[in-house]
A and B are shown apart, each in its own frame.
Chain A
């Protein structure tokens, strides 16, 4: 469910025949399937939040509808905030699908880092470049009170990426866990999730998160930015979940 390029393993064995005529199954996660095809003359990615048979049907319909709304809303809000996101073509509650732009010529930031930064020499400039771009992205989101909820390098795409550039074009995807209203705590946790994902996915690239954080600090327009940073340190000390004492 992460990106269009880095597929998780295809469902093997009992793979259901696709009901999307002319669409090819790209990936499947716990919540949704991704298909690729042409829709309204454009290259399109379909995210289908499939039926969960273990849920009561009414509950399942309502939950799915709410989550699709949430995701689509966050994508347009992020776009309005100046964060590149896929274009939305159709939100279809009957088919439980979001039809959106398929991003051509893109790789996940994870693949980009693995290929160009990890275990390479003289990468300081590239680390700065990537860190600044990511920090700016998150700052723009948080300035408009949008929480992505799952900030990882697999959910950030790089477009037309190469190593000898001075700008990295980033695009944010998978707003499945996003929220469009937020507290200081939410923002701090969003940053913390990103830090943890960098630690686990790119442990060999040191210094990336500190560039992200200092850029974030620089570009965040909100008044409570110092509060967010303080909260972030608090979250870092205790972990993502709140202490429930007393």
Chain B
């Protein structure tokens, strides 16, 4: 199984599927398709993601906000980028976690109901010119130094917590906690 699927909060009736691509050649096209709504998913820099669970927590939050019509950004997909970031500035969050035109390694997050997974995943796979890699390899593409800088994680914290736990605790509380 090269992709990763996790059921989100029961009340949302949604699932999250993650797909990892390496050596992507058409990041610019993908970005255009995302902006004009042709591709309905969230595309992330793989370098800033340590573990699928990091995206799960952010996507769960975004899906719940969508259900309550309380999104801060325009779509549930940009909301994932915003929720992953500790910044309250939307533009900065999207630039930070979203892909650049020359991005090579990208992680795609799809939010779907149980029965429309296949069609959406197919569309994503056909739109991206790159090599699909098993999600287990995600760690090979992570830039740990950058992640720790982005989430402001000091050595003291890692003596008592693993990195993923620290990240998701921050993501859950970003609306009202600062560091």
- Indicate, yes or no, whether A interacts with B: yes
Residues of A within 8 A of B (CB): 21-22, 39-42, 69, 72-73, 75-77, 79-84, 87-92, 94, 101
Pair B156/A91 contact, Cβ less than 8 Å: no
Pair B169/A73 contact, Cβ less than 8 Å: no
The SS class assigned to the A binding surface is mixed
Distance, CA A75 to CA B173, complexed state (A): 10
Residues of A close to B169: CB separation below 8 A: 75-76, 79, 87-88
Pair B168/A73 contact, Cβ less than 8 Å: no
Residues of B close to A22: CB separation below 8 A: 10
Pair A83/B160 contact, Cβ less than 8 Å: yes
14 other A-B residue contacts (CB within 8 Å) besides A72-B172, A90-B172? A22-B10, A40-B8, A40-B53, A41-B6, A73-B173, A73-B176, A73-B177, A77-B179, A80-B156, A82-B159, A84-B161, A87-B168, A88-B173, A91-B173
Pair A87/B161 contact, Cβ less than 8 Å: yes
Residues of B close to A69: CB separation below 8 A: 176-177
Pair A40/B10 contact, Cβ less than 8 Å: no
Residues of B close to A84: CB separation below 8 A: 160-161
Residues of A close to B10: CB separation below 8 A: 21-22
Q: Count residues of B near A (Cβ-Cβ below 8 Å).
A: 30
- Segment touching A, from B29-37, B55-63, B125-133, B138-146: B55-63
Distance, CA A89 to CA B169, complexed state (A): 6
Distance, CA A87 to CA B163, complexed state (A): 11
Residues of B close to A75: CB separation below 8 A: 169
Distance, CA A195 to CA B29, complexed state (A): 64
Of chain B, the residue at the smallest CB distance from A65 is B176
Determine how close the nearest CB of chain B comes to the CB of A88; give it in whole angstroms: 4
Q: Contact partner of B157 among A21, A72, A80, CB < 8 A? A: A80
Distance, CA A88 to CA B19, complexed state (A): 25
B166 sits at the interface (CB 8 A): yes
Determine how close the nearest CB of chain A comes to the CB of B151; give it in whole angstroms: 10
Name 10 A/B residue pairs within 8 A (Cβ), A-sorted. A40-B9, A76-B170, A79-B169, A80-B154, A80-B179, A81-B156, A84-B161, A87-B161, A89-B60, A89-B172
B118 sits at the interface (CB 8 A): no
Distance, CA A69 to CA B154, complexed state (A): 23
Determine how close the nearest CB of chain B comes to the CB of A101; give it in whole angstroms: 7
Distance, CA A40 to CA B55, complexed state (A): 11
User: 7 closest A-B pairs (Cβ-Cβ)?
Assistant: A82-B156, A87-B165, A88-B172, A84-B160, A88-B169, A73-B177, A69-B176
